[in-house]
Structure 1
């Protein structure tokens, strides 16, 4: 499943960066990276349990980081652009087929530093042939 999680991340990275949503996307942002930016968060994958199908249901977290001083507007605008870039889009992945790709949830919160706005976007992918 590890190789599969990397292939999904690469496919999402390509789709998001091609959409030019107005922020950089990092696997691991460097310290002091200029905001706003997006980063890949935790990944969770599990066999879907079907006997007749070799499939995985995966959840990939994508974090939005904003330093805007006008509330959560910037983070929410970026979440909307992210949704347009990948929600229910036909995105190719090496070694498998994405059957269903969707933004499952969005959450916005203030970071503990009291200044950084943090958006948490959960992407769900159902893939077969893995």
Structure 2
């Protein structure tokens, strides 16, 4: 399944990047956030997949969100982490098990104050296209 392979490759790329880990203060990248998670951290969010096959080629289009959570006084930390995430993933040549990544691009990102009034929440939205190997 290329959706799971893509998520694993994104996680590995972010976990192995010194800049991302340095900004987070450790390996704080989660699929399921522990209740006692230290800030800042990243979560792998929504993953939606749709078919883009043609009459001669098979492929999938993936939309995935990477979330940044920060309690820094202001948006700066969230923007810095998002910039590092974009630098790692945008146009990355990730290796996927059972699929080939055609491209991976950051389409948009935003940072806003969360409903709790003390957390800043950043979201980077990516689009990826995969083909079976």
Flag whether TM exceeds 0.5 (same fold).
yes
- Matched with 1:56 is 60
Query: 2:30 — aligned with what?
Result: 26
Distance 2:89 2:77 in 1: 19
What stretches of structure 1 of length at least 5 have no aligned partner? none
Alignment of 1:1-130 (within 5 A): 3-20=1-18, 21=20, 22-23=23-24, 24-69=28-73, 71-129=74-132
Q: The residue matched to 2:16 in structure 1 has which SS?
A: helix
Q: TM-score, normalised by structure 2?
A: 0.91
TM-superposed deviation, 1:104: 1.1
3-state SS of the aligned residue for 1:92?
coil
Unaligned runs of 5+ in 2: none
1:51-92 alpha-carbon deviations (Å, 9 max, x no partner):
2111000011110000001x1000000011001111101111
Q: TM-score, normalised by structure 1?
A: 0.93
CA distance in 1, matches of 2:32, 2:5: 16
Q: Tell me the distance in 1 between the aligned counterparts of 2:49 and 2:118.
A: 33
Q: Take 1:110 and 1:53, find their aligned partners in 2: how far apart are those partners?
A: 43
- Structure 1 runs of 4+ aligned residues shifted over 2 Å read none
